[in-house]
Amino acid sequence: MTITYFMDNDNRPSVNKDEPRVNEKITVPQVRLINEQGDNVGIVMTREALRQAYDAGLDLVEISTGANGSVCKIMDAGKYKYELQKRKNEAKKKQKVVEVKEIKFTPNIGDNDYQVKMRNARKFLTEGNKVKFTLRFRGREMSYVDLGKAVLKRAEEDVADIAKLEQTPKLEGRNMGMMVAPK
């Protein structure tokens, strides 16, 4: 049995892209330095910036990287990571995940069944979700594609006040589909 070891080039530990580089992990020769009071010191050698950070009893944290060099700030690295994580969680809370709900029909759907399905579709749309109407043709129903189009057209007209058409009715094999999104 053979054991294979993988190492990064130059025997350096791999860097996590999600976390900012701190202290010795900053490998660029020069950085734009911001001191602990928030004043712009200017472009200095990385070793000099590290020395200033150690003298202040804090860490050198890479805030951003760009075409015109890295921007580093003298601060507490743990506190900075905590604030980044907090902001990330806050942004995740605020985002709305739009789901696609599916309503299935047949070309010869009864009126009461149709009303129940449309009530559900309206509920999904008011919750902010997209709705995909799928019409399934079985057996000889494939010869009545125009009936299926009529059912989907009726569904589109019934939700026109709260939704807009996102995908027109399209036949794919034995299914015909249409997508609507809330206005």
Structure tokens at 175: 């299914």
Say which residue, 88 or 13, is predicted with more confidence: 88
Question: pLDDT band for position 18 (50/70/90)?
Answer: low
Q: How far is it, in rounded angstroms, from Cα 181 to Cα 98?
A: 10
Question: pLDDT band for position 17 (50/70/90)?
Answer: low
Q: Provide the residue ranges of all domains of the chain, joining segments of one domain with +.
A: 9-94, 100-182
Superfamily of domain 100-182: Translation initiation factor 3 (IF-3), C-terminal domain (3.30.110.10)
Which CATH number does the domain 9-94 belong to among 3.30.930.10, 3.90.950.10, 3.40.50.720, 3.10.20.80?
A: 3.10.20.80
Interior/surface letters 128-144, b for 16+ CB within 10 angstroms, e for the rest: ebbbbbebebeeebeee
Strands 100-105 vs 59-64: parallel, antiparallel or unpaired: unpaired
* Residue 31, pLDDT above cutoff 80: yes
How do residues 49-97 score in pLDDT, each as one tens digit?
888 888 888 888 888 887 677 888 888 888 888 988 898 888 888 777 7
- Counting residues of the chain whose pLDDT is more than 90, the rounded percentage is 30
Q: What is the pLDDT of residue 14?
A: 47
For range 121-134, the mean pLDDT:
93
For range 133-138, the mean pLDDT:
92
